[in-house]
Amino acid sequence: MSDHSLEAILSAWREGQLSTTAVESQLRQRYATTAEGQDVLLDLDRQRRCGFPEVVYGQGKSLEQLRTILEMQQQAGQPSLITRCDAAHAAVLAETFPAASYQPLARTFRVGQLTAAGLPHVLVVTAGATDRPIAEEACETAIWMGCKVETLSDVGVAGPWRLIERRERLQQADAVVCVAGMEGALPSIVAGWVSCPVIAVPTSVGYGSNLQGLAPLLSMLNSCAANVAVVNIDAGFKGGYMAGMIARQVARGREG
């Protein structure tokens, strides 16, 4: 039984498809707050509390730990997202979860996605092609959250007309993720064209004085544009997650 909603469980019980014992087991599973296995303690209650299931940081975790986490989430009827998942682990996990989507550039392994009212719209903007891995992580995160995601690539400040020519696309978004390295000026420029929040993601792309992303981080934190908020260096997941939350709230208001 793939639908773990309370209504589906009770309906199956009424129609004789589930025994009372099976209903009890599924309800215990549905309302469990944690699941334990392979040295991990998974927060199964997070979706109820926060609106989204727990996202798993894959780097440093063993294949068996990741497999166990995915199995627990799938059994609980929750979509899964692993970030910083290497290709070797993903290839083996895909054998167990054939419906999964692995994006090698983003290093994300996704099984299913949430649904959302009102089609929340997230636009992910990159300054240059070298920022794409972090941007793709933001895209995959927002997709997992049920958002419509579009990208606007290679529109850095060295060629400002490229951004101006695409300003209509910028203005259609409910939230914008802006990914940039070097001096990190792009989010301030983008923010001047839109009426929505801009989530700035500094990357470690750049020459020596970029200081592995510290220079764009400080530039973004000091932005004069009031609608710019900043996440950590190379934190595509965090940028996508914040934009997804904002876009879903906007879309919900549009529907209601």
Tens of pLDDT, residue by residue over 199-248, are: 999 999 989 988 999 999 999 999 999 999 999 999 999 999 999 999 99
Structure confidence at residue 28 (pLDDT): 66
Q: Name, in order, each residue with C-beta under 8 angstroms of 81's C-beta and a sequence gap of 6 or more.
A: 53, 55, 56, 108, 109, 110, 111, 140, 141, 144
Residue 104 pLDDT level (bands cut at 50, 70, 90): very high
Per residue in 37-70, pLDDT tens? 557 788 888 888 888 999 999 999 999 999 999 9
Q: Using CA atoms, how far apart are residues 156 and 181, in angstroms rounded to an integer?
A: 10
Residues with Cβ within 8 Å of residue 15, at least 6 apart in sequence: none
Q: Give the model confidence (pLDDT) of 67-101 as tens digits.
A: 999 998 888 889 999 999 999 999 999 999 999 99
User: Quick one: what percent of the chain has pLDDT higher than 90?
Assistant: 61
Give the mean pLDDT of 114-132.
Answer: 92
Confidence bin at 189 (pLDDT 50/70/90):
very high
- Give the contacts of 214 (CB within 8 A, at least 6 positions apart): 233
3-state secondary structure the chain: CCCCCHHHHHHHHHCCCCCHHHHHHHHHHHCCCEEEECCEEEECCHHHHHCCCCCEECCCCCHHHHHHHHHHHHHCCCCEEEECCCHHHHHHHHHHCCCCEEECCCCEEEECCCCCCCCCEEEEEECCHHHHHHHHHHHHHHHHCCCEEEEECCCCCCCHHHHHCCHHHHHCCCEEEEEECCCCCHHHHHHCCCCCCEEEEECCCCCHHHHHHHHHHHHHHCCCCCCEEECCCCCHHHHHHHHHHHHHHHHHHHHC
CA distance 175 to 135: 14
What confidence tier does 126 reach under pLDDT thresholds 50, 70, 90? very high
Domains of the chain: 32-111 (no CATH), 121-255 (3.40.50.1970)
pLDDT of residue 38: 58
| 34 has pLDDT over 90 | no
User: What confidence score (pLDDT) does residue 30 get?
Assistant: 63
